[in-house]
Structure 1
Amino acid sequence: MNALQGIEGQLEWQQLPSPTLSAGEIRIQVAAAGLNRADLLQLAGNYPPPPGAPQTLGLECAGVVSEVGEGANWKVGDKVCALLPGGGMATEVVVHGQHAIPVPERITMAEAAALPEVWATAWCNLFELAGLKPGEKVLLHAGASGVGSAAIQLCKAFGNPCWVSVGSVERLDYCVALGAEGGVDRHTGLEGLRDFGPYDVILDPVGAGYAALNLDLLNRDGRWVLIGLMSGREAQFDLAKVLSKRITLIGSTLRNRDQAFKSRLMAELGARVWPLFTEGKLKPNLEQQFAAKDAEAAFAALSSNKVNGKVVLILDKNLV
């Protein structure tokens, strides 16, 4: 099979042996794979795959089931999208059958490739780990990102007003169009976020640079969910505020979760979120798609921090 590797900071397509298929697994002929910031980090050598995961880039894909292992509840020809620990940017991938979900009706294969990682991340962190309740207020840092775009729509669909911090006025307009109540352009200052708070939940991929402000912005019994370290890993903040407000700090990663956790998460997505795509209440937010030969341009687009929503790499144009 043809697979995209990150070797010493460079992208390289390589011919690799097809992965073996075990009980409970399915083989997917990949139509398209979504790009995520984790792929950028892996390419830079800062985010190695979990033990046993493929070295091939790609944490999500969409395609057609080409082989079914014993006990997997799929059939050859099914159109699926899948959450992966790696391996999505290849002509084929093997994944546990419970980590795949049918491609929603009215959604293209390219759009479906943009769904599993960011929607699983947004749902898991907001509604499962943070226990978001209807009516609670949410702040989303990097609101125009793939995860942010999904989180805004989930908040709107489930009755949670949300605000965002973003990198430009244009991106703020994009977030408001998706359903955010408002927010700020970080280049003109984050202090304006105080006008909309306090917030019950903050979803934060930024880390150190926003740590002290997050504590100020959170409501009593607020939950700060840390999912990234874009501004660094070391922060200073007042622990007395954590105590007095009874704040919960939740560190969260998805890629290295065990099989059972991901199976439960994907089942929850399939039951509660995927029907909303079919009903037209949610949309994938696919902004750009690139042919496999243009992988470097795809990675450059994502790393520019100017993409609203998702970037997808097309592996098989005949399936898209």
Structure 2
Amino acid sequence: MDTALVFNKHNINGTGPSMFGGFTFDPLKKKTDLWSKFSGALFHIPKYMLTIVKGEAYFTTNVVCTQHDDMSLFDKVTREREDVLSKAGQKPALAELNLKDVIEIAPEAWKQTVTDVLADFENSELKKVVLARELRLNFKDEVQSESVLVNLLKNQQESFTFAFESNGDCFIGASPERLVKKDGSSLFSACLAGSIARGKTTEEDEKLGEELLTDQKNLIEHQYVVDMIKGAMEETCDEVLLPEQPVLMKMKYIQHLYTPVIGKNREGTSLLHLVDRLHPTPALGGLPKQAAIEKIREIELLDRGPLCSTCWLDGLSGKW
């Protein structure tokens, strides 16, 4: 950023130079063909970026300039911007997503992996290990990322929806979890662990929610996440605030135990230090963190690939 020229009169996160990308879940895990087009860490600063905040739209342009450029670069970018903006109201033609088949990858082997991990708990320091499994959906025609995004934005409105392309492949999804957000000196993280279905009626939904709020297994696992995130934030914060009890976060199809954690960032500390300390939380990896990651690396069949993040480049104060 020392050599960047930033012309931005708006003091709003999400405007100005912004970096998008992610790190692989476990850089020491052997990479599979599925994620071969994504590197272990990959970030981009987009040439053109649209940001919508509280109903206001902002359009950011980022250009790499060299000592060989002249004003013709400015004219070229201006023409490109006008072309992009002229197409802003056009809606792309989206093909239907026609599912052909669903394939579970090695389900019996995954079940055996779960059994083996449970047996290891008696003779190790492990308290929790989160094992992932792979489900492949094959469609009759080529899948448009735009079609998937439209469906996610419609059906997962409470989640953070993303699509990140690399060498022709697209990593796309929606998650209700935010690892950490930084705004000035304020830090925010969300403890999300412990889940149950939504009810078909209001009465059934409230009953299921109350069941989740009083279920000891889910409360214990949720507390693992709370304790870990609280401890990590105390390393970089002068003050950490959180409620004594979790509440419910209700999604369209599922409800979770949810505890917000707020901190005041200590001067001179880095957001990246906190990201390194937090990831993966016990909700994604396990506890203790390092032992759980090593166990996952050893026995899990799949390569989990990257985790996406976003960072505003004003002194690395933004949200991840």
Provide the TM-score with structure 1 as the length reference.
Answer: 0.26
Larger Rg: 2
Provide the TM-score with structure 2 as the length reference.
Answer: 0.26
- Which gives a bigger RCO, structure 1 or 2 (Cα 8 Å, sep 6+)? 2
